[in-house]
Structure 1
Amino acid sequence: MSSADIVGIDAGAVGRWFATLGVDFAGPLAFERIGLGQSNLTYLVKDQDGHRWVLRRPPLGHLLASAHDVAREARILTALESTAVPTPRVLGLTDDPAVTDVPLLLMEYVDGQVVDTMSIARSLTPERRRAIGVSLPRTLAKIHAVDLEAIGLTGLASHKPYAQRQLKRWSAQWERSKTRELPALEGLTRRLVAAVPEQRELTLVHGDFHLRNVITSHDSGEVTAVLDWELSTLGDPLADMGSLLAYWPAQGENTLGDFVGTALDGFPHREELVAAYSAASGRDLTALGYWHTMGLWKVAIIAEGVMRRAMDDPRNKAASGTPTAERIEALVTKAHEVADTAGI
């Protein structure tokens, strides 16, 4: 496929926009859809000299309000440039109709390894898997330690209790995107509503933190860039840890479909992730079972939305395949198990 035919991008217009950004490049530019994400679309941009950049845009087709706000993502990434959180640098943002019909975000290309397929996960040594695994909760602790006032993000989102905000937002998302009735999910929602823990602090929350949303060093396995900030907000830091656990299947669990890389030898168990986060953050983790349950509930609702978008517009299908009803039901079942253990 030539760059002229790449879905979602006007190659000529983007090339003209590049020329206004002060970015040195040797045209013409080539574009390639990358990543397995089924939310915002991501493209690798290359020039004739082999220089690389990354371009992001919202998905194709009808969008739910605020769900794919790349301008907001750009604001967060720019604010984080001065912090200890590893992120790619923002080079440009445009919604100029001469360039694009949706906002476009241009970022630096961070070299490294994204562990987003089973073949990549299998290619790693157990030692490298372990290094990557323990780096994730330590990176989360850095995100949650950010001084919001110092970087100008106190106004990023509401300061009202996060659990209630999440329950309201994702319940509404479920109603808009569900493809069928699922009483077990409705029951899970009721359990979460009834057991909301007290919110003790408000921090920056990534909102979708997991193995496939980070770039890791080829040398050490440490996280070198955290990606996909579109769901980032202000809230309870344990929510991110709950999401990480939700996206970390153990052996024999099919909650993430074909991607069960974290069950391979060497990757830390969920209990070890919790211990690493506890050591790095010093936080009281009493309520973590609640947030792990909510993480699974949210992943199920996100998966349903992806399934719905792929049904509505097949161009939104990504290389990783589309979630299935069975996988979504497995997530809900696992969430009920975690809730039982947590006593909620």
Structure 2
Amino acid sequence: MTGADETTVDGLDLPALERFFSAHVPEFRGGLSAELLQGGRSNLTYRVTDGQARWVVRRPPLGGLTPSAHDMQREYRVVAALAGSDVPVARAVAFGGADDGLGVPFSVVEHVDGRVIRTVEQLHALPDTEIARCAYGLVDVLARLHAVDPGAVGLTGFGQPQGYLTRQVQRWYDQWQRVRTRELADMERLYARLAARRADRLTEVAGHVRDTGRRAVTVATDVGDPGQCETLARSAVDEFGRVDILINNAGIGMAVPALKESPEDFRRVVDVNLNGAYWAAQACGRVMEPGSSIVNVASVLGLIKSYAPQAAYAASKAGLIGLTRDLAQQWTGRRGIRVNAVAPGYFTSEMTAGIPEEQLMTFIRQTSPMGRLGLQHELDAAVVFLASPASSYITGATLAVDGGMSGH
């Protein structure tokens, strides 16, 4: 309810809120009225006043909750931490837990006056110069937000910064695939350019390799393109004279119910995860000498069920395990090339970073005897083992590095 009766508002127990304000908000002078504001529906947003000062109260919606979207304490912690930074935020006033009167966690921040544009008509009523100023201002604030050092504002260890940009680009693209009504070539080009920033990561890794006194060459490659895989193999031979080891680690994935997954989405996952591994193995297999090794990075989801709907991902990884066996059968005896796979469980990675932590850990505790995420060095050791002569009598095998999930 808004405006007409500001003493009774759905989702707010005003007497309980007044008691909380009396204890935690020094400037409160007694008596509250409130109105539910439009927008802000990830969490309900209210403007409250005691007749002198005004605040904004936020609480989860009245229906079902999604933990990652409605975590009030997380939201309040970020707002409070950004105070004094170069990012404009409302002053954090107080945080209330589920036992503080409303039955759910809620936050209180100062009210900031401003003009909210809700309709196209309201937008078009503004001068073009004002629209441009607001648009550029939004971009500037976002840039300043991402320039904040989490440790400098007390947010060390907050969230999962690893692979943030990759997750955001992939999430945006997945959402676009679900809502698009027509093909837009510019959108596809934009996604390709944003996703290509992995070339920067290659340069960074190559720098670390060179710092050890060894040689490195980087070749940005779309593994779904056989021609680019051939170029990659030739570049390695031109630089080093040979290819001894191939680690097929390119992969993408998304969680989409099978009845809603588009043919394009399914093909895109298979094209990278399975076809891409084949094209890379084929290109390198042509130039590899006896004693060489290929390690395909599959997944535990090629062996067991997933907690989420991931038909394309699971199918591609199960197919990669089959491809590993077949290439080992063809190449180990005739060409002396060993081909094996690792099937990682759940590790801290770009892919798992987008999964709500509580849901992920519940699944892991139910399926893994070890009851925890894997650590990067635990996977590294398995890959190095299969790539090295230490595994010289192993081929066509899939090594599960999953905390016991596939045997549970």
Q: TM-score, structure 2 length as denominator? A: 0.42
Compare relative contact order (CA 8 Å, sep 6+) and give the higher one, 1 or 2: 1
Rg comparison, structure with higher value: 2
Q: TM-score, structure 1 length as denominator? A: 0.49
